[in-house]
């Protein structure tokens, strides 16, 4: 379960007494590449640029963000895996690259063997939302009752087949014993627009996009999908309160190529932990509807393995495939 996976990860405050970046001998002595496997402007890019600025300030050399989008993030992640393991190429791993895609397609990298985890950085809260005019339910129990009464009649949009938001809905349906019709779109924007227009009944959407629509009364939020209730909506229950094990939150972490020297990994991990303790970081994350989520390299490695198995089960049970 995601809750179990996250419970072993450290919150930023836990690093307060120990996370002092111990400089590996002479490292870095030149600029470091930080590969983001998505286009500029998204959550991973925003996180990476803030982190890069901190790492440059703390470790004394530029950390240069390079956007290498494509193949659902696999293109950029492959470049991280294939780079020299010398600490001068690191990058952003994510829920798709390391937990979902390995079960949906043949990848040019091994998400476990080809990387040295550095640490988690953040999660993206999501919401289970309905169009209240098309689907006038007020809570998860009413939604499940409606879906059980009319199997597959309700339809939901997603940002695409095999995406984390699609699989989050699949996870919920499997836990609740219901079936609804999946209508995939090419990205979160079109998915949300279809929901707002009443073309579909419900969806699981990132809070950064959907929460304002909820506040404006255009959508109704039934649950947040993070393991704990969200700071921005403390009265909104989690989906796991109704169906344990349905936590899902797209996550972002930092990895290096396998074989990167341990002292470099530890220096980067400690500096990343320091980044997550900064009040300015936490405030920016709050403004962007992100939640800081730190870890040690060992915790992050264990978490990736747990996430891989969790999504393997969801994909297998749902007989999910992508073209």
Task: State percent of the chain over pLDDT 70.
Answer: 92
The per-residue pLDDT for 24 is: 59
Residue-wise pLDDT tens digits, 107-135: 999 999 999 999 999 999 999 999 999 99
Cα 77 versus chain centre, distance: 15
Between CA 265 and CA 276 the distance in angstroms is 17
Residue-wise pLDDT tens digits, 182-195: 999 998 899 999 99
pLDDT of residue 149 exceeding 50: yes
The reply to whether omega before 144 is within 30° of 0 (cis) is no
Query: Is the whole model's pTM more than 0.75, yes or no?
Result: yes
Handedness of CA 316, 9, 6, 94 (dihedral sign): negative
Q: What is the token pair recorded at 232?
A: 């921005």
Residue-wise pLDDT tens digits, 242-283: 999 999 999 999 999 999 999 999 999 999 999 999 999 999
Locate the domains of the chain by residue range: 2-124+250-318, 126-242
Residue-wise pLDDT tens digits, 47-91: 999 999 999 999 999 999 999 999 889 999 999 999 999 999 999
CB-based burial label for 75 (10 Å; 0-12, 13-18, 19+): middle
Neighbours of 312 (CB within 10 A): 14
Pairing state between β 181-184 and 126-130? unpaired
pLDDT of residue 2 exceeding 90: no
pLDDT of residue 156 exceeding 70: yes
Q: Provide the CATH number for the domain formed by 126-242 in this structure.
A: 3.40.190.10
Q: What is the token pair recorded at 279?
A: 């009040």
Per CATH, is 2-124+250-318 categorized as 3.40.640.10? no
Between CA 48 and CA 177 the distance in angstroms is 39
Confirm whether 2-124+250-318 and 126-242 share one CATH topology: yes
- Report yes or no: 311 and 29 within 8 Å, Cβ to Cβ: no
Between CA 84 and CA 100 the distance in angstroms is 25
The per-residue pLDDT for 323 is: 66
Neighbours of 86 (CB within 10 A): 15
């Amino acid at each position: 379960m995601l809750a179990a996976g996250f419970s072993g990860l450290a919150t930023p405050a836990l690093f307060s007494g120990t996370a002092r970046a111990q400089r590996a001998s002479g490292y870095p002595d030149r600029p470091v590449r930080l590969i983001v496997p998505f286009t500029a402007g998204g959550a991973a890019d925003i996180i990476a640029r803030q982190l890069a600025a901190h790492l440059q300030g703390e470790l004394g050399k530029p950390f240069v963000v390079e956007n290498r989008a494509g193949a659902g993030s696999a293109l950029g992640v492959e470049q991280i895996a294939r780079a020299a393991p010398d600490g001068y190429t690191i990058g952003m791993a994510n829920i798709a690259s390391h937990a979902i895609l390995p079960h949906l397609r043949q990848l040019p990298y091994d998400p476990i063997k080809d990387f040295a985890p550095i640490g988690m950085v953040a999660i993206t809260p999501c919401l289970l939302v309905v169009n209240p005019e098309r689907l006038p339910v007020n809570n998860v129990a009413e939604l499940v009752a409606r879906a059980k009464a009319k199997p597959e009649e309700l339809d939901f949009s997603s940002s695409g087949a095999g995406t984390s938001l699609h699989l989050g809905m699949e996870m919920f349906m499997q836990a609740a014993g219901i079936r609804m019709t999946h209508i995939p779109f090419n990205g979160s924007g079109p998915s949300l627009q279809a929901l707002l227009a009443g073309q579909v009944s419900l969806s699981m959407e990132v809070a950064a996009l959907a929460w304002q629509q909820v506040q404006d009364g255009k959508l109704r939020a039934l649950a947040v999908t993070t393991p704990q209730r969200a700071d921005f909506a403390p009265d909104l229950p989690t989906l796991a309160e109704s169906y344990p094990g349905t936590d899902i939150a797209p996550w972002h972490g930092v990895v290096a190529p396998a074989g990167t020297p341990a002292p470099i990994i530890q220096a980067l991990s400690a500096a990343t932990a320091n980044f997550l303790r900064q009040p300015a970081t936490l405030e920016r994350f709050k403004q962007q509807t992100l939640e800081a989520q730190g870890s040690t390299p060992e915790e992050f490695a264990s978490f990736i393995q747990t996430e891989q198995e969790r999504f393997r089960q969801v994909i297998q049970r749902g007989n999910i495939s992508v073209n």
